[in-house]
Each structure stands twice: as structure tokens, then as C-alpha cells.
Structure 1
Amino acid sequence: MKKTLIAAAVMATSGIAFAASNVTLYGVIEEGVLLEKAKHADTTVQLRSGFDQGSRWGIKGVEDLGNGYSVGFILEQGFSADDGNVANAGNGTTSGFTREAFMYVNGDFGKFGAGRTGTLASGAQSNHILTGWALGTGLGLSSWTSAIGTSFSRTNNSVVYATPVFSGFSVHAMYSNGLATDTDKWSDNSHYYGLGVKYQANAIRSSLIFEAVDNKATGTDAVKVSDLFTENEFKALGIGAVWAANKDRVIKEATGKKKAIYTINYGLEYNLGSWTPMFAYQFAHQNSGRRTHMFGLSAKVAVGGGDVLVGGRYLFGKDEAKDVGANKVAVDGDVRAWNIGAAYIYPLSKRTALKAYAGYADSGKEWKDVENVAYNGYQVYLGMRHSF
């Protein structure tokens, strides 16, 4: 009897262990020293958490449903290693799982999921497919998603679908029913749309991505006196004004909805063994009147047991924005920008790596006086990343 009970206990324990083995606790901590200077601004030296890879912790799990089907989830929280505060807040998400809160189903049909996640060209989270830029979307002014370009980071209320891979090709579609919330009627929520094709076979990786945000939630109605006060509250002010004559007076004018933002990103990589040359391109048409073309050439090269990442890009086009950069420069006309950057990542182990980076940015025409290191300035970084 005792042996039976012991055997049952062992089986129960092993069953629990087997279930738990499908759930993983993981994370990344990156901390370093960043020296930077923007044009017309002071030089600063600071501790910087997540300069390249955002510091985060997360839980992910997968359950096999049989017959080729499985269900999984990802819950991921960003934080600052400097002070322990929440990081990656945005679109109304300020606590909880700010980086990703996503559930999905895999099967012969492909992958379908829903929740908060990164957009197709964001370079963030489990659904992005961006290729073609060796310096990625993290290294400061060299990030493909830095301020000079156009990008969408993470969206709430999203559904994502990816087809199975056919001869190296897969199609990816994403829709957000409301970037922050979707509690209003459809026409009052801002929506994200993404459609992309990815190719990966042999030595080639490539992607072509179209994205748009319709900005439907950006307009505001006029504010009237009657929106702020009831008749009795107004009369209680004792200002002697007649309610009937003033209740429809406009305190704040209405603002029109911003126009939609469109982007196209194309990337190509060719792995030659010890080094991988890359090409990237972006066309962007923004609501502020910015219409730009951005080209990037970069490479990843194996050197001394680590990887050297080098890249340069050039942007040209037009901008009609009222407040660009920290000094809120108003621009209306042609813009130019270029930057170069180089990084060296050396692994101390499978989980720990040293990182060094330097980058320089310079802009002309209407952007020449923008006080932002992504437009005009330089950065030097030295740090360490540990994964668990």
C-alpha cells in the first residue's frame, strides 16, 4: 500500500514537473554608461538601462493540444535597471506587462494571436519581421526606428496572423482595433494596419512591410461653456453674465483629425559566412506633412570571437512639422539627414556579453538646428547585457 502511494506521488510530481517545463521565466538586463551630445546642448554622461536591448522579464508558455495544434502565451514587462521603474509604457499602458501581453494558437493554418504586441516593422516583440539593418532597432541614433524615420512601436487590442512558410515565404497581417483603447465607436478609435511578406531560405533573409495608422482618435470637439458648467454652477459664479447668452460660447476650438500615416519598409540580408551585408529602405508619408525616403547600408562581421556591426544611412524629403526636437523647431520644406554607427558585441558566455557603440548624426536644410541627438549629435556607449 505504501509503495503504491509513493508511486502515485512520484507520478503526480512528475506530471506537475512536465506541465511546468512548458512554462519559462526569462529576462534581459542591460546596463551601461552613455556619453552623448546633441547640437546646441550640453554633453551628458549617464547610466543607461536597455540602450540596445530593453531590460525586461517575462513568462512564456506553450501547451501541445495534439494533431499539430498548440496554444501559447507571452507576458513581458519592461523595466529600468537604473531605478527599477516601469519601462516601455505607451498607448495608455503604464503598468503591468508593458512590452507584450499576447496569446496565440499554432496549427496547420499558421499562427493566430491577439493582445498587446509590437508591430510588424517595430523590431520589438514576437511578431516583428523587420530585416536589412545590422544595427537593429536599439542602438541609439543608429536605430532604424530612431526619430528621423517613421515607426510604430507597440499596439493594444491587436490581432495578428501569419501563414505557414511556403518555399521560404510567409505572409503576416496585423490589425489593432484601438492603439490605446477601443471602447469608443469604431470611427473614434485610432487603428493600426500592417501587411508584410518575409522570405528566409539558405543565405537570404528579406522582408517587405506596409503599415498605416489612421489617427481617427486624434481630433477633439469644441469645448463650450455648457460643457464645463451647469446653469446653476454658472450662475453661482456671480459674474453677472446671462446663461442663455453664454452657454454656447466656445472656450476651446475643435481640432481636426490628423491624416493617416503610411510607411513601407524593405530589407535584404545575404549571409556570406563570416560577414553579412545588408540593405534597407523606408518610404514614409506622415500626418505632419513629412514625406521621406531613407536608405541604409550595413553589415555584420565576425571579428575576434564577437560581432562588429557597422552601418550608414541617408534620408531626404520634406517636412512640415511645427515642433521637431527638444527645442521645438518649426520646419516647412526640404530636409536632409545622415548618420553612421559602429558597435562591437563580445560574448563572455552564452548569456552575457559586453557591448561598445559609437554613432554620429548630422542633418541639413530645415533640420539643421534640431536639438536631438538622432538628428544632430553623437553617442558613445559601453555596457553589459545578461540574459536569463
Structure 2
Amino acid sequence: VEDLGNGYAVGFQLEQGYSLDSGATANGDGTFTRESRLYVQGGFGTLSFGRFGSLASGAGSQTILTGWQFGTSYEDTGSWTKYGKGNSRINNAISYVSPAFGGTTIHAMYSNGTKADDAKWSQNHHYYGLGVKTKVGALDGSVIFEATDAKGGVEYKEPAYSITAGANYNFGVATLSGIYQYAWSSDTYKQNAFGLSTAVPAFGGTAKLGTKFVFGKDETVTSGEDKYNGWSINAGYSYPLSKRTYAYGYAGYTHGGKLWKTHTAAEADLVHNGYAVGMGLVHSF
């Protein structure tokens, strides 16, 4: 970032994801596939151009998702976006963040082609997002509306929509979080997802507990069971080894019912019954 004076600045941000086990590129094919943006900021707010996570993705610098202590990591069992719709990372995007008004900011985002922008406008797959984020004392939260159209050869024919609301409240001895989302597309799904979680200071670190639920209807099923549901329980602990490094551990279990109970292993988009455990180190620089 470079300070231009008079409250103005210009900067860029490049993030590359990779698999720790193999060194292979992660988060898509190419370079800087986690985030790649150019931005300008001043008294008018911040305007960004490039590739970044959508407002409800939980990924990157432009997301405002709140209300779930485990974020979008911790495998299928703990990730919010395994149950909620988040639209992931999008290309060819413009994002605007307003100045703060009493702790509240307005966020708007648009993509002219979430994957590619090599056709005329009417044939690209577009994304639209609008959200409000606020922080008042011990409370912070957000409300997000997202929409994608059905252009560009995507798998559905009708637009998809979602409304997501989440909040965290810090009681001092613990932070309590709640999140809810309603998502729908008339030819694909209608879904409700919600979660409750907490973070508690313990033994010099932070312990996390959470549970989330989802139920909905798969509009693509033409015969047999078309309703589904799922739930998970999650626990984690992180401990700071220094100001820039912490160790963590995690365990979780997830269970699918109705349509999701009869899935096959090849149906990767469905919730698998099972558990996940893990541990690791995180270093920031």
C-alpha cells in the first residue's frame, strides 16, 4: 500500500494457496487464486478490483460473514459453507466498502463473470452482493443479500439467492455467536441453515464449541426422497506460542439425513456421515 497524502492510498494484495502435503496449487488453477486485487481508498471508502471472496464466502479481505466461530475451515464437519451458500471466490469483480457511520459500514459487490468474462454481458455468469456490517460495543454482526444469475452455462437455469444474518456478542468470559441463512433457487434448492457457537478463554488459549443444522429440498430430484437435513458438532482449541504463531487442535462429527443419508461416496456435494480430527500450527508474517 502507498500513502498518496490527504487521506488517500492505493495498494494491491496477492495471495497464493497451496497444499501443504504436496505443494500443489490450491483454491483453483493459476497463480494468486486466493485473492488478487488492486484497490484505492480515501474519505469516500474503499474500491477494489480483481478476484476475492464474495460477501458471504468467509474468505479474503472483502467478506463480512459473521456469527460462526469455526469460519470456513476445519473440513466438512466445521466449515460453515459446507451447509450455507457462500458463492466462494469470484473473478472479474468490483467491491465497494463505505466509510464507517457510527460503527456501521455498507458493502456492495458485483462480478461481470464469476469464472470468465470472455463473452458478451448477457452470456456471462454474474454475481450481485449487498451487505451491512456493524460493531456496537461488545456486539458485532452483519446482514448479507447475494444473488447470481443463471447465465454462462452454469448448472441451473434460474437465479440463486441467499439472505445471511450473523452476530457475535462478547460477554467477557465468553463470546456467543449465532448465524442463520435462507437460500433458494426455484429449479435447484430451498434451504435453511443455522448455527450456534462459542469461544471461551481457557488455560492461556481459546476453546471453541459449536453446532450447526441444515434442512431443505432438492428441486432437481424428480422421484423419491427430495428433502434433506444434516447437523454437526464441533470442538477446537488454539494456544498462542508467540505473537505471530499459534497451535490448534480440532474434532468434529457430521451427520446427514433423508436424501443425504442415501448418498454415494462419489456425491461430493452432499454431507458425509463421519468425523474429522486435526492439529497444526499457524504462523503470520
> What is the TM-score normalised by the length of structure 2?
0.93
Asked if 1:163 is matched to 2:98, the reply is yes
Structure 1 segments of 4+ aligned residues over 3 angstroms from their partners:
371-375
- The size of the alignment, in residue pairs, is 280
Q: CA RMSD in A?
A: 1.9
Shift of 1:213: 1.2
Aligned to 1:82: 21
Aligned to 2:236: 343
Asked if 1:380 is matched to 2:277, the reply is yes
Asked if 1:109 is matched to 2:44, the reply is yes
1: CA distance, partners of 2:271 / 2:218: 16
* Residues 321 and 342 (structure 1), Cα distance of their counterparts in 2 relative to 1, 3 Å cut: farther
* Contact 1:105–1:113 under 8 Å retained in 2: yes
Shift of 1:331: 6.7
Shift of 1:361: 0.9
Decide which structure has greater helix share: 1
* Contact 1:168–1:200 under 8 Å retained in 2: yes
Shift of 1:127: 0.5
Aligned to 2:182: 283
2: CA distance, partners of 1:157 / 1:376: 36
Shift of 1:318: 1.0
Shift of 1:104: 0.8
2: CA distance, partners of 1:196 / 1:75: 24
* Contact 2:256–2:271 under 8 Å retained in 1: no
Match of 2:81 among 130, 139, 145: 145
What are the Cα deviations for residues 276-303 of structure 1, in whole angstroms up to 9, with x where unaligned? Answer: 0011001111365211111111111111
| Equivalent position amino acid for 1:355 in 2 | Y
Decide which structure has greater strand share: 2
Shift of 1:355: 1.2
- Percent identity of the aligned residues? 49
* Residues 308 and 257 (structure 1), Cα distance of their counterparts in 2 relative to 1, 3 Å cut: closer
For the residue of structure 2 that corresponds to 1:367, the secondary structure is helix
For the residue of structure 1 that corresponds to 2:37, the secondary structure is strand
* Residues 331 and 170 (structure 1), Cα distance of their counterparts in 2 relative to 1, 3 Å cut: farther
Match of 2:206 among 301, 307, 313: 307
For the residue of structure 2 that corresponds to 1:167, the secondary structure is coil
Task: Write out aligned runs for 1:40-59 (5 A).
Answer: none
* Residues 321 and 345 (structure 1), Cα distance of their counterparts in 2 relative to 1, 3 Å cut: farther
Shift of 1:321: 3.8
* Residues 74 and 183 (structure 1), Cα distance of their counterparts in 2 relative to 1, 3 Å cut: same
* Contact 1:340–1:360 under 8 Å retained in 2: yes
Aligned to 1:63: 2
Aligned to 1:184: 119
Asked if 1:333 is matched to 2:226, the reply is yes
For the residue of structure 2 that corresponds to 1:281, the secondary structure is strand
* Contact 2:225–2:258 under 8 Å retained in 1: no
Shift of 1:257: 5.7
For the residue of structure 1 that corresponds to 2:100, the secondary structure is coil
* Contact 2:230–2:271 under 8 Å retained in 1: no
| Equivalent position amino acid for 2:130 in 1 | L
1: CA distance, partners of 2:93 / 2:127: 8
For the residue of structure 1 that corresponds to 2:122, the secondary structure is helix
* Residues 264 and 134 (structure 1), Cα distance of their counterparts in 2 relative to 1, 3 Å cut: same
* Contact 1:320–1:332 under 8 Å retained in 2: no
* Contact 2:184–2:190 under 8 Å retained in 1: yes
Aligned to 1:294: 193
What are the Cα deviations for residues 147-169 of structure 1, in whole angstroms up to 9, with x where unaligned? Answer: x3322111110000011000111
Task: Write out aligned runs for 1:139-288 (5 A).
Answer: 139-140=74-75, 141-146=77-82, 148-218=83-153, 258-286=157-185
2: CA distance, partners of 1:314 / 1:197: 24
For the residue of structure 2 that corresponds to 1:187, the secondary structure is helix
Gaps of 5+ in 2: none
* Residues 75 and 114 (structure 1), Cα distance of their counterparts in 2 relative to 1, 3 Å cut: same
Greater RCO structure (CA 8 Å; 6+ sep): 1
* Residues 193 and 349 (structure 1), Cα distance of their counterparts in 2 relative to 1, 3 Å cut: same
For the residue of structure 2 that corresponds to 1:123, the secondary structure is coil
1: CA distance, partners of 2:224 / 2:51: 34
2: CA distance, partners of 1:270 / 1:257: 38
Asked if 1:133 is matched to 2:68, the reply is yes
* Residues 169 and 208 (structure 1), Cα distance of their counterparts in 2 relative to 1, 3 Å cut: same
Shift of 1:215: 2.3
Match of 1:317 among 216, 234, 251: 216
